[in-house]
Chains A and B, each alone.
Chain A
Amino acid sequence: MMHSSRLTRRSVIKGGLGLALATTALTTLGLPMPAKAAGKKVIIGAFADGGLTPFKEKIIPLAKEQGFDIQFLEDEYGVTLEKWFADAQSGAGQYDLYLLDDPWVPQFGAANVLEDLGAGGIDGSDKDWISPMIDMGYWPPQQGPRVKGFENAKPTLICVPFVGDLQTLTYRNDVFTGGAPKTWDEVIAKGKEGVAAGKIKYPVVFRGVSGNPIVTSWYPIFLSFGGSFFDDKWNPIFNSTQGKASADFFVGTMKQNAPSGVVEFDSDQEGAAILGGEAGAIIQYSGNALKADDPAQTKVAGKLDFGVVPKQEKAIAQMGIFIAGVPKSAPNKANSIAFLKWYVSAETQAKLSEAGSIPVKRSAFGIAKPGNRLIPVALQQLDAGALPRPRTPDWAKVEELLGIELNKALQAGSGGGAALDTAAKQVKDYLTTAGYY
């Protein structure tokens, strides 16, 4: 007797066709469709950072009132560079606006994947811009050395400053009772007194994780010791006498006065140490500093004050602004440029300052009631000195090489100068291979 459900050729073909149709239908219905221009929709990509909290909470609702439909997509810092670069280069068109970390601008600029915002009607020559901030939006840079292939190119405004973040000092006012410490020696000496008095556990805290975190923590110390990173021909000179002194101080004295696990600390842990009341001082961006007055986020509300970074020779901080670029593949390009024009207007910048974020236009620093005590200190720091990182598309690799060597020295608690020598050789070799010389 034949089995009634015998597999026949016809049933296989019918089943296959049915499966193919069902799969097609499910795929079509289930997959997100590429974003299409619809009204004033703007898809913003950002990395998760406390520095953007005022923008998210106060400015996005204002933008909605202006008719912008903002879609805010956040990712972890460590994956955004590669994700957005792949999006821009492949023309995938998943974003209208990237909120980049400023050292990434050269990489996007050299790859020619961002829109010319000057041609879009944004005025880069407006005197109200904080000049070192708007300078970072140009590729190739208007000042300083240029990489090969871009020596004679006309600087184009491909990004505009979005949040004027830069490093400042956050310190415990019950430990540093005479105000912000002026020198690193004072930070350590008074911090030790604070530890002895039981007010804090560690004089300082910083980020020690290899790569971007440790370089970000070391850089202001390097600058304050009077170091320079590259010469005009892209030769690494960070292993100068000043550079080595800063690295030895960093991996030696600073480590001895920081939590024992600082080698593995990133921004979460350093934030917990200062907001949790354990550390006496920290150099940081605005992300955690903005939480200093919120009792829900700190155990030492009212005890944290801000100041200009301490100096050894100079009191120079590192700039690390959020900077906005519109990919050439943006599905809602016109909307993003219209949004940026509205956002960088003096009126909106004043609202941003009121919301507690560091603005990018000088006029917004002068409003009657800035939303955060950090804002006037940020202006003081800008005037005292703040420098961007070197404007090279290969900064990510340079930072990686240097970060690994610094991290190794930090583990050992010594040998900062030697680490810089090793890193300088590696950077030189890498840049030679990349055709810099």
Chain B
Amino acid sequence: MRTGTQARKYRLQGAGLDLALPYLMLAPGLTIVLGILVYPLWDGLRASTRAYRYGSPVADVGLQNYLHLWSDAQFLNALWVTVKFVALSVSFEAVLGFALALFCLHEFRGIRLLRTVLIIPMVITPVVVAIVFRLIYASDAGMLTALCKAMGGGGVQILGNPLNAFIGLVALDVWEWTPLMFLILLAGLQSLPHEPFEAARVDGAGAWRVFADLTFPMMRPVLAVAIVLRTIDAFGTFDQVFVLTRGGPGEATRLISIYGYDTAFKFQQTGYAAALFVTIGLVVLALAFSAIRLLRRIDAS
């Protein structure tokens, strides 16, 4: 015999609660996604087709903002600086991260402590990292200058020299983000099956042969994912440059994020800045898709 509660439950089920429930449960999340992701994206796209004066839209200009980007020497310079920065930083981080992960794969006394210490830079706030590096690089009272003077040398010019400032920025990024690469690759290495390596050892393969024929090929998918993630992230680097160099000297370290920020908020060219960021978003998406296709091709081979 059905109790009253059961009867009510079945009535509700009959009224379609079972059908509606998944949508009801999705609704809060969906509303948030629409509100904080889809609407701003739509608004940004709309802004990118408008001309702004004094912070307000004054005319619809279609794709003119997008076309103007490619004749804007400052944008092209910022894009080139960003591409160089991303390529150099991510390459160094991948190589160093891989090397560290291989080293930390071995079990020895103190390895747990070493692994913990190695990931510390990654958990420090980027602004703090930039301030610390500024104190290291400063030509008047920086740590490097003090060190050089103590050894009988002169002052070190890092932030005042375009090439040195760029290298200094790359060094900062490598210091901060190699641990992320290390962490992903270490997890990848630890998940590799043991059997092929044991077989290789039995066959008398040396360390290099094992790395070249087994470890690296097996790690390629993980490495590709780590590189794609870091590349996307590095394209958006902002805090460190903002604090360390603000894009200078000249335009030597002016990444696209800094140029976009200045264009949008300092110079109030909202529409143009929106077009800039949409373009960069598309470039990064294209890179990510290319990397994924490459990954699939590697898997297939």
Q: Which of A210, A269, A273 contacts B247 (CB 8 A)?
A: A210
Q: Contacts of A110 on B, CB cut-off 8 Å?
A: 53-54
Q: Contacts of A107 on B, CB cut-off 8 Å?
A: 54, 268
Q: Contacts of B162 on A, CB cut-off 8 Å?
A: 411
Q: Is A174 an interface residue (CB 8 A)?
A: no
In which size bucket is the chain A interface? Answer: 35 or more
Q: Is A263 an interface residue (CB 8 A)?
A: yes
Roughly how many angstroms separate A394 CA and B250 CA in the complex, as a whole number?
Answer: 20
Q: Is A89 an interface residue (CB 8 A)?
A: yes
Roughly how many angstroms separate A260 CA and B248 CA in the complex, as a whole number?
Answer: 16
Q: Is B169 an interface residue (CB 8 A)?
A: no
Contact B160 A210 (CB under 8 A): no
Contact A264 B268 (CB under 8 A): no
Contact B248 A407 (CB under 8 A): yes
Q: Contacts of A85 on B, CB cut-off 8 Å?
A: 55, 265, 268
Instruction: State which of B35-43, B136-144, B222-230, B274-282 sits at the interface with chain A.
Output: B136-144
Contact A260 B157 (CB under 8 A): yes
- Known A-B contacts A261-B155, A262-B160, A269-B140; the reply to A9 vs B21 at CB < 8 A is yes
Best-surrounded residue of B159, B262, B267 (most CB of chain A within 10 A)? B267
Roughly how many angstroms separate A411 CA and B265 CA in the complex, as a whole number?
Answer: 28
Scan B235-276; emit 1 where CB is below 8 A from any A CB, else 0.
Answer: 000000000001111110000000000100111100000000
- Known A-B contacts A210-B246, A404-B251, A411-B250; the reply to A111 vs B54 at CB < 8 A is yes
Q: Contacts of B25 on A, CB cut-off 8 Å?
A: 12, 16
Q: Is A51 an interface residue (CB 8 A)?
A: no
Q: Which of A20, A273, A408 contacts B250 (CB 8 A)?
A: A408
Q: Is A211 an interface residue (CB 8 A)?
A: yes
In the assembled complex, the CB of A19 is this many whole angstroms from the nearest CB of chain B, namely: 10
Q: Is A86 an interface residue (CB 8 A)?
A: yes
Roughly how many angstroms separate A210 CA and B241 CA in the complex, as a whole number?
Answer: 14
Contacts between chains A and B (CB distance < 8 A), count: 94
Query: B132-163: which have CB < 8 Å to A?
Result: 138-141, 154-155, 157, 159-162
Best-surrounded residue of B25, B54, B141 (most CB of chain A within 10 A)? B54
Q: Which of A112, A411, A434 contacts B249 (CB 8 A)?
A: A411
Contact B248 A209 (CB under 8 A): yes
Q: Is B56 an interface residue (CB 8 A)?
A: yes
- Known A-B contacts A261-B157, A261-B160; the reply to A210 vs B249 at CB < 8 A is yes
- Known A-B contacts A107-B268, A261-B155, A261-B160; the reply to A78 vs B249 at CB < 8 A is no
Q: Contacts of B250 on A, CB cut-off 8 Å?
A: 210, 404, 407-408, 411
- Known A-B contacts A86-B265, A210-B250; the reply to A272 vs B160 at CB < 8 A is no
Q: Which of B68, B249, B262 contacts A400 (CB 8 A)?
A: B262
Q: Contacts of B246 on A, CB cut-off 8 Å?
A: 78, 209-211
Q: Is A397 an interface residue (CB 8 A)?
A: yes
Q: Is B28 an interface residue (CB 8 A)?
A: yes
Q: Is A259 an interface residue (CB 8 A)?
A: yes
Scan B51-89; emit 1 where CB is below 8 A from any A CB, else 0.
Answer: 001111000000000001000000000000000000000
Q: Is A126 an interface residue (CB 8 A)?
A: no
In the assembled complex, the CB of B271 is this many whole angstroms from the nearest CB of chain A, namely: 12
Q: Is A417 an interface residue (CB 8 A)?
A: no
Query: A1-57: which have CB < 8 Å to B?
Result: 9, 12, 16, 20
Roughly how many angstroms separate A433 CA and B139 CA in the complex, as a whole number?
Answer: 39
In the assembled complex, the CB of B273 is this many whole angstroms from the nearest CB of chain A, namely: 12
Q: Which of A81, A210, A396 contacts B248 (CB 8 A)?
A: A210
Chain A's closest residue to B267 (CB) is: A397
Roughly how many angstroms separate A16 CA and B29 CA in the complex, as a whole number?
Answer: 12
Scan A179-220; emit 1 where CB is below 8 A from any B CB, else 0.
Answer: 000000000000000000000000000001111000000000
Best-surrounded residue of A393, A404, A433, A435 (most CB of chain B within 10 A)? A404
- Known A-B contacts A85-B268, A269-B140; the reply to A264 vs B249 at CB < 8 A is yes
Chain B's closest residue to A396 (CB) is: B266
Q: Is A82 an interface residue (CB 8 A)?
A: yes
Q: Contacts of B249 on A, CB cut-off 8 Å?
A: 209-210, 263-264, 407-408, 411
Contact B266 A20 (CB under 8 A): no
Q: Contacts of B248 on A, CB cut-off 8 Å?
A: 209-211, 264, 404, 407
Chain A's closest residue to B165 (CB) is: A264
Closest 7 CB pairs of A and B: A261-B139, A82-B265, A263-B160, A210-B248, A264-B159, A264-B160, A110-B54
Given A259-B139, A264-B159, A411-B160; 16 other pairs, CB 8 A cutoff: A12-B25, A81-B266, A82-B265, A107-B54, A111-B56, A208-B160, A211-B246, A260-B139, A261-B139, A263-B160, A393-B268, A400-B267, A407-B248, A407-B250, A408-B249, A433-B68
